[in-house]
Amino acid sequence: MSVWTTKSLEKDIKYIVIKHYVPGINGKIHGVTFRHSFGVVQKDSKTHRNLKRMPVFKNAVEQPLTFLSKLPFITRSKDIQLIYGREVYSKYLLALEEERQAAKLAEQAKIEAEDQKRREELKEALQAQEEAEEKLKEAQQSEDVEKIEEIKSEIPQVTKCRFETRNGTLCKFDAYEASPSGYCKTHTLQDPKLEEVGINVPRAMTKGERKKFRKSLYTKLEKLKKQGVF
Protein backbone atom coordinates (compact mmCIF):
# COMPACT_ATOMS: atom_id res chain seq x y z
CA MET A 1 0.00 0.00 0.00
CA SER A 2 1.40 3.38 -0.98
CA VAL A 3 2.01 6.18 1.52
CA TRP A 4 -0.52 8.37 -0.30
CA THR A 5 -3.24 5.73 0.02
CA THR A 6 -2.53 5.21 3.71
CA LYS A 7 -2.83 8.92 4.46
CA SER A 8 -6.03 9.17 2.43
CA LEU A 9 -7.61 6.29 4.37
CA GLU A 10 -6.59 7.83 7.71
CA LYS A 11 -8.10 11.15 6.66
CA ASP A 12 -11.39 9.47 5.75
CA ILE A 13 -11.76 7.83 9.16
CA LYS A 14 -14.78 9.35 10.87
CA TYR A 15 -15.49 9.14 14.57
CA ILE A 16 -18.89 9.68 16.14
CA VAL A 17 -20.22 10.03 19.68
CA ILE A 18 -22.57 7.27 20.76
CA LYS A 19 -24.64 7.18 23.94
CA HIS A 20 -25.33 4.09 26.05
CA TYR A 21 -29.01 3.59 26.89
CA VAL A 22 -28.22 3.12 30.58
CA PRO A 23 -27.15 6.37 32.32
CA GLY A 24 -23.87 6.71 34.22
CA ILE A 25 -21.94 3.98 32.39
CA ASN A 26 -18.15 4.22 32.81
CA GLY A 27 -15.66 1.74 31.41
CA LYS A 28 -14.98 -0.07 28.14
CA ILE A 29 -17.38 -1.96 25.89
CA HIS A 30 -15.86 -3.75 22.87
CA GLY A 31 -12.73 -1.72 23.50
CA VAL A 32 -14.62 1.62 23.39
CA THR A 33 -14.20 3.93 26.38
CA PHE A 34 -17.45 5.23 27.88
CA ARG A 35 -17.69 8.12 30.31
CA HIS A 36 -21.09 8.92 31.79
CA SER A 37 -22.59 6.70 29.05
CA PHE A 38 -20.90 8.60 26.17
CA GLY A 39 -18.36 6.83 23.98
CA VAL A 40 -16.49 7.57 20.76
CA VAL A 41 -16.34 4.98 18.00
CA GLN A 42 -15.21 4.89 14.38
CA LYS A 43 -18.34 5.15 12.24
CA ASP A 44 -19.30 2.00 10.27
CA SER A 45 -16.36 0.08 11.71
CA LYS A 46 -16.57 -3.52 12.97
CA THR A 47 -16.61 -2.18 16.54
CA HIS A 48 -19.47 0.17 15.66
CA ARG A 49 -21.45 -2.70 14.18
CA ASN A 50 -20.78 -4.87 17.23
CA LEU A 51 -22.08 -2.16 19.53
CA LYS A 52 -25.21 -1.69 17.41
CA ARG A 53 -25.97 -5.41 17.77
CA MET A 54 -26.30 -4.93 21.52
CA PRO A 55 -29.88 -4.21 22.67
CA VAL A 56 -28.81 -1.13 24.65
CA PHE A 57 -27.39 0.43 21.47
CA LYS A 58 -30.18 -0.59 19.08
CA ASN A 59 -31.72 2.90 19.04
CA ALA A 60 -28.73 4.75 20.42
CA VAL A 61 -28.46 8.43 19.59
CA GLU A 62 -25.35 9.19 17.51
CA GLN A 63 -23.79 12.64 17.32
CA PRO A 64 -20.91 14.23 15.38
CA LEU A 65 -17.53 14.35 17.12
CA THR A 66 -17.88 18.07 17.87
CA PHE A 67 -20.74 17.15 20.21
CA LEU A 68 -18.07 16.26 22.79
CA SER A 69 -17.67 19.95 23.67
CA LYS A 70 -21.29 19.98 24.88
CA LEU A 71 -20.81 17.22 27.43
CA PRO A 72 -20.77 18.51 31.04
CA PHE A 73 -17.65 16.54 31.99
CA ILE A 74 -15.65 18.09 29.11
CA THR A 75 -14.58 21.41 30.62
CA ARG A 76 -11.63 21.94 28.26
CA SER A 77 -10.70 20.43 24.91
CA LYS A 78 -7.71 18.60 26.41
CA ASP A 79 -10.16 16.53 28.48
CA ILE A 80 -11.09 14.78 25.23
CA GLN A 81 -7.53 13.51 24.86
CA LEU A 82 -7.33 12.41 28.49
CA ILE A 83 -10.60 10.45 28.29
CA TYR A 84 -10.82 9.20 24.70
CA GLY A 85 -7.21 9.30 23.51
CA ARG A 86 -4.92 11.36 21.31
CA GLU A 87 -6.31 10.12 17.97
CA VAL A 88 -9.89 11.05 18.88
CA TYR A 89 -8.68 14.43 20.12
CA SER A 90 -6.84 15.02 16.83
CA LYS A 91 -9.95 14.13 14.84
CA TYR A 92 -12.04 16.34 17.11
CA LEU A 93 -9.84 19.36 16.33
CA LEU A 94 -10.12 18.66 12.59
CA ALA A 95 -13.90 18.26 12.81
CA LEU A 96 -14.16 21.47 14.84
CA GLU A 97 -12.21 23.41 12.21
CA GLU A 98 -14.33 21.94 9.41
CA GLU A 99 -17.47 22.95 11.32
CA ARG A 100 -16.13 26.48 11.78
CA GLN A 101 -15.26 26.76 8.10
CA ALA A 102 -18.69 25.47 7.10
CA ALA A 103 -20.35 28.00 9.41
CA LYS A 104 -18.16 30.76 7.98
CA LEU A 105 -19.08 29.82 4.41
CA ALA A 106 -22.77 29.62 5.34
CA GLU A 107 -22.62 33.06 6.96
CA GLN A 108 -20.82 34.50 3.92
CA ALA A 109 -23.43 32.98 1.61
CA LYS A 110 -26.17 34.51 3.78
CA ILE A 111 -24.51 37.94 3.64
CA GLU A 112 -24.11 37.74 -0.14
CA ALA A 113 -27.74 36.67 -0.59
CA GLU A 114 -28.98 39.52 1.61
CA ASP A 115 -26.72 41.97 -0.22
CA GLN A 116 -27.97 40.80 -3.61
CA LYS A 117 -31.56 41.19 -2.42
CA ARG A 118 -30.81 44.73 -1.23
CA ARG A 119 -29.19 45.61 -4.56
CA GLU A 120 -32.24 44.41 -6.46
CA GLU A 121 -34.57 46.35 -4.15
CA LEU A 122 -32.36 49.44 -4.47
CA LYS A 123 -32.36 49.18 -8.25
CA GLU A 124 -36.15 48.99 -8.29
CA ALA A 125 -36.43 51.92 -5.86
CA LEU A 126 -34.09 54.12 -7.90
CA GLN A 127 -35.94 53.30 -11.09
CA ALA A 128 -39.23 54.17 -9.40
CA GLN A 129 -37.70 57.42 -8.14
CA GLU A 130 -36.63 58.43 -11.66
CA GLU A 131 -40.08 57.71 -13.03
CA ALA A 132 -41.68 59.66 -10.18
CA GLU A 133 -39.36 62.62 -10.76
CA GLU A 134 -40.41 62.77 -14.40
CA LYS A 135 -44.06 62.77 -13.39
CA LEU A 136 -43.28 65.38 -10.76
CA LYS A 137 -41.78 67.72 -13.38
CA GLU A 138 -44.90 67.42 -15.51
CA ALA A 139 -47.14 68.07 -12.51
CA GLN A 140 -45.06 71.10 -11.51
CA GLN A 141 -45.36 72.56 -15.01
CA SER A 142 -49.14 72.24 -14.82
CA GLU A 143 -49.03 73.61 -11.25
CA ASP A 144 -51.30 70.80 -10.10
CA VAL A 145 -50.63 71.04 -6.34
CA GLU A 146 -52.75 68.04 -5.46
CA LYS A 147 -51.01 65.89 -8.06
CA ILE A 148 -47.58 67.11 -6.93
CA GLU A 149 -48.26 66.07 -3.33
CA GLU A 150 -49.65 62.73 -4.46
CA ILE A 151 -46.54 61.96 -6.50
CA LYS A 152 -44.22 63.03 -3.68
CA SER A 153 -45.99 60.70 -1.25
CA GLU A 154 -45.53 57.76 -3.64
CA ILE A 155 -41.79 58.26 -4.22
CA PRO A 156 -40.03 55.24 -2.62
CA GLN A 157 -37.43 56.14 0.01
CA VAL A 158 -34.04 54.47 0.37
CA THR A 159 -33.88 53.47 4.03
CA LYS A 160 -30.43 51.86 4.09
CA CYS A 161 -27.04 53.33 3.19
CA ARG A 162 -26.05 52.85 -0.46
CA PHE A 163 -22.30 53.03 0.17
CA GLU A 164 -20.36 49.96 -0.97
CA THR A 165 -17.88 48.79 1.67
CA ARG A 166 -14.40 47.39 1.10
CA ASN A 167 -15.67 43.80 1.24
CA GLY A 168 -17.96 44.55 -1.70
CA THR A 169 -21.27 44.62 0.16
CA LEU A 170 -23.61 47.53 0.82
CA CYS A 171 -23.37 49.31 4.16
CA LYS A 172 -25.98 48.11 6.68
CA PHE A 173 -26.48 51.42 8.50
CA ASP A 174 -29.66 53.46 8.09
CA ALA A 175 -29.51 56.13 5.39
CA TYR A 176 -29.16 59.74 6.55
CA GLU A 177 -32.31 61.53 5.39
CA ALA A 178 -30.32 64.64 4.44
CA SER A 179 -27.83 62.73 2.28
CA PRO A 180 -28.38 63.45 -1.46
CA SER A 181 -27.44 59.87 -2.39
CA GLY A 182 -28.98 58.10 0.57
CA TYR A 183 -25.75 57.45 2.45
CA CYS A 184 -25.53 57.03 6.24
CA LYS A 185 -23.89 59.69 8.42
CA THR A 186 -20.67 57.67 8.58
CA HIS A 187 -20.31 57.67 4.79
CA THR A 188 -21.79 61.09 4.03
CA LEU A 189 -18.35 62.48 3.20
CA GLN A 190 -18.14 59.94 0.36
CA ASP A 191 -21.52 60.99 -1.08
CA PRO A 192 -20.86 61.54 -4.82
CA LYS A 193 -23.65 64.13 -5.10
CA LEU A 194 -22.15 66.60 -2.62
CA GLU A 195 -20.43 68.57 -5.39
CA GLU A 196 -23.72 68.76 -7.30
CA VAL A 197 -25.26 70.67 -4.38
CA GLY A 198 -22.23 72.95 -4.06
CA ILE A 199 -20.32 71.20 -1.26
CA ASN A 200 -16.64 70.37 -1.72
CA VAL A 201 -15.00 67.95 0.71
CA PRO A 202 -11.33 68.75 1.48
CA ARG A 203 -9.06 65.85 0.56
CA ALA A 204 -6.79 66.15 3.59
CA MET A 205 -8.13 66.91 7.06
CA THR A 206 -6.95 66.31 10.60
CA LYS A 207 -9.23 64.40 12.97
CA GLY A 208 -10.35 67.68 14.54
CA GLU A 209 -10.93 69.33 11.16
CA ARG A 210 -12.94 66.34 9.95
CA LYS A 211 -15.15 66.43 13.05
CA LYS A 212 -15.78 70.16 12.60
CA PHE A 213 -16.44 69.74 8.87
CA ARG A 214 -18.94 66.93 9.49
CA LYS A 215 -20.89 69.10 11.92
CA SER A 216 -21.17 71.97 9.45
CA LEU A 217 -21.89 69.53 6.61
CA TYR A 218 -24.94 68.07 8.38
CA THR A 219 -26.27 71.57 9.01
CA LYS A 220 -25.83 72.54 5.33
CA LEU A 221 -27.41 69.34 4.03
CA GLU A 222 -30.43 69.62 6.28
CA LYS A 223 -30.90 73.23 5.18
CA LEU A 224 -30.62 72.29 1.48
CA LYS A 225 -33.03 69.42 2.03
CA LYS A 226 -35.64 71.76 3.52
CA GLN A 227 -35.13 74.15 0.61
CA GLY A 228 -35.91 71.31 -1.80
CA VAL A 229 -32.51 71.42 -3.53
CA PHE A 230 -32.60 67.58 -3.58
Q: Is the pLDDT of residue 10 over 70?
A: no
How confident is the prediction for the chain on average, in pLDDT? Answer: 87
- Contact, 19 vs 69, CB < 8 A? no
pLDDT at site 11: 56
pTM for the full model?
Answer: 0.61
Q: Which of 85, 111, 135 is the last residue of a domain?
A: 85
In sequence order, the 6+-apart residues with CB closer than 8 A to the CB of 58 are: 52
Query: How far, in Å, are 67, 68, 128, 182, 188 from residue 63 at the CA level?
Result: 6, 9, 52, 49, 50
Whether residue 78 is contained in a domain is answered as: yes
Whether residue 77 is contained in a domain is answered as: yes
Q: pLDDT tier at 6 (50, 70, 90 boundaries)?
A: very low
Range of 35's domain? 3-85
Q: Which of 70, 85, 100 is the last residue of a domain?
A: 85
Q: How many domains would you assign to the chain?
A: 2
Whether residue 190 is contained in a domain is answered as: yes
Q: Is the pLDDT of residue 147 over 80?
A: no
Whether residue 124 is contained in a domain is answered as: no
Whether residue 101 is contained in a domain is answered as: no
pLDDT over 90 for what percent of the chain? 55
Whether residue 141 is contained in a domain is answered as: no
Whether residue 150 is contained in a domain is answered as: no
Whether residue 123 is contained in a domain is answered as: no
